[in-house]
Amino acid sequence: QVQLMESGGGSVQPGGALRLSCTASGWTFRRTYAAWFRQAPGKEREGVAAIASGDTTTYADSVKGRFFLSRDNAKNTLYLQMNALKPEDTAMYYCAAGNNWYAYARLNTTGWNYWGQGTQVTVSS
C-alpha cells in the first residue's frame, strides 16, 4: 500500500520560514515525479512546485525565488523549503507522486497517482 505523509506545517509570521516534509512508503521518489500543491479554504487546489527524476524542478510564478523543492533519496523524503512567507501562502499543503510527465511539466492538479493528507500552513501577523 502506497502512503504519503506530510509534516512540518504550522503558524508563522509574514517573512518567516517553514520546511515541509513528505515521506513515502511503498513508493520511491527517485525515478518518478513528485510535487507540492496547496489549497486555501474556498479556493481551488493549485500547483506549487514539482520535481522530475533528474531533479529538474518547476515552480509556480507566485513562489519562485522563495520556495525550494528537493528530495532525499536515501530517506525517500520530499521537501519544500518555504522562505519569506506571505499571508497569501496560507493553505493546506499536499504532496503528490506519480509517473505522468504532463502532470509534472504543467503542474496540473490531475494526473497524480498518490496524494498525502496535507499539512496546514498559516501565515499571519
Closest CA to 78 of 28, 118, 17, 38: 28
Q: β-strands 33-39, 46-51: how paired?
A: antiparallel
pLDDT tier for residue 122 given thresholds of 50, 70 and 90: very high
Segment 1-11 shows an average pLDDT of: 95
pLDDT tier for residue 28 given thresholds of 50, 70 and 90: confident
Residue 30 has pLDDT above 90, yes or no: no
pLDDT tier for residue 40 given thresholds of 50, 70 and 90: very high
Q: How many CB atoms are located within 10 Å of the residue 119 CB?
A: 20
Give the whole-angstrom CA distance, residue 34 versus residue 17.
22
Give the whole-angstrom CA distance, residue 10 versus residue 29.
25
